Structure 1
Amino acid sequence: MSKKFYLFCAILICLLATMLYFITVKIKAQPNAAQLPNFTFKTLNGQPFTQKQLPEKEHHLILYFSPDCHYCTDEMDDIIKNKDWFAQCYILLVSPSSIQQLNAYHQYLVNKGIKYQILSDSKYQFSNYFGPANIPTSYLYSRNKQLVKKFNGGTTAKNIYSFINAK
C-alpha cells in the first residue's frame, strides 16, 4: 500500500479521535437538573425572572413548552381540569416561542385558577440550565428545590400529581 493511503488513514483516525474527545467533553459538561438550577429568563414584559423569585410553595413544576404544541396544551388543559391537585404547586411555563404567541397563551390561561408564570427563552438558554430537553419536558421540584421527577414528552395531571402526593 502507498504512503498516501497510510497518511490518509492516520489523519482520519486523528480527526475521529478529536471529534470523540469533544463530544465526550460536551456530554460531561451538560448541567444536572437534580437541584433547581440558578436561571434567568424574561417575563412577558421583558423583566428578568430568576429562581429566587419563585414563591415558597410545596412544589414547582417547570414545563418547557410551546403554545402551538398540542402535547403541551393538552398537558396544561389536563392540569387546569384538575387544578385542585395543583393548589400547592407553582407552574413555570418556559418557551422559546415569540412574545406574541406567549401573550396569547397567557390570555387563555389568565382566569383558569392556576398559579403560573410564563417566561420567554428567546435566547435558547433552557438547555444550559436544565440539560437537553425536547418540547414538552416537565420538571417537578420539591419545596427544598430537589428534582422529584423529570417527564420527557407530554404527561398527564394524574401522573404529575402522583409524584406531588407521594410525600
Structure 2
Amino acid sequence: MKKTNLIILLVILIGGGTYLGYLSQLGTTAEASTLTAPSVLPDFTLNDINGEPKSIHQLAGSKPTLYVYFNSTCHLCQEELGLISKRIDEFKDYNLIFTTVEPVGEMIGFVTGLGIKDKGFVNFLLDAEMKVASYYQIKSVPSIFVYDAKKQLVAEYVGITDIDLLLEKLASGK
C-alpha cells in the first residue's frame, strides 16, 4: 500500500511540475481592467546600439508601438524576437522598440543575427542604468507592451506571445 501511495504521489508531483513548466512557457494576457504597466508610454532617452541617444516618444512617433523589454540570453526572448523577425514585414506600419539592460557588446551579435536592426521602424535601446526596468517594474522577460498611436497602453504580456495577437492589438491602436 505504501509503495502504491508513493508511486501516485510521484506521478502527481511530476505531472504538476510538467504542467507548471508548460504554463510558464505561455504568454499571459493582462485584460484591460488588470493592466499594471504605465498607461502612457514613458519618455525616457536611452542610447541605441550605435551609442546615439534616442527618445522613446520620438521613436514611437504617432504610430502604434510595440515596446519589448528583453534579454538576449533568455531563451523565451530569443524565441519571441525570432518569431517577430520572421514576420517583420507585417509590422512595417508600426514602430517596434526593443530595450535591454545588457551592455551593447553582449547583445550586438544577437541583434545582428535577427536581421531586423536596419529596418527604419525597428529600434534597439540600452537601459544601462535600469531606469525603464525600474519604472515598469520588470520582473520577467520578455515583457511586451502595446501602445496606440496616442501612446496609450492597449495591452501587456509576459512571455512568448502570439504574433497574430500582437498585430491585432497594434492594428486596434491606429
Q: Which whole-Å CA distance do the structure 1 matches of 2:103 and 2:117 have between them?
A: 22
Q: Quick one: structure 1 residues 147 and 40, their matched pair in 2 at CA, closer, same or farther if it must change by over 3 Å?
A: same
Q: Which amino acid aligns with 1:68?
A: T
Q: How many residues align?
A: 137
The structure number with the bigger radius of gyration is 1
Could you list the structure 1 runs, at least 4 aligned residues long, displaced by more than 3 angstroms after superposition.
110-114
Q: Which whole-Å CA distance do the structure 1 matches of 2:128 and 2:117 have between them?
A: 26
2:133 matches 1:117: no
* Structure 2 unmatched runs, 5+: 1-35
- C-alpha contact (below 8 Å) 2:117/2:123 kept by paired residues: no
Deviation string, structure 1 residues 67-115 (Cα, Å, up to 9, x no partner):
1111112111211222233121211110011211221122113457753
| Structure 2 match to 1:74 | 79
- Matches for 1:125-144 after TM superposition, within 5 Å: 125-144=131-150
- C-alpha contact (below 8 Å) 2:42/2:57 kept by paired residues: no
- Matches for 1:21-100 after TM superposition, within 5 Å: 33-100=38-105
User: Taking every aligned residue pair, what percent have the same amino acid on both sides?
Assistant: 24
Secondary structure at the residue paired with 1:54? helix
TM-score, length basis structure 2: 0.68
Q: Quick one: structure 1 residues 110 and 61, their matched pair in 2 at CA, closer, same or farther if it must change by over 3 Å?
A: same
- Please, what is the CA RMSD of the aligned residues? 2.3
Q: Which has the higher contact order (CA 8 A, sep 6+)?
A: 2
TM-score, length basis structure 1: 0.71
Q: Which whole-Å CA distance do the structure 2 matches of 1:48 and 1:54 have between them?
A: 11
Secondary structure at the residue paired with 1:122? coil
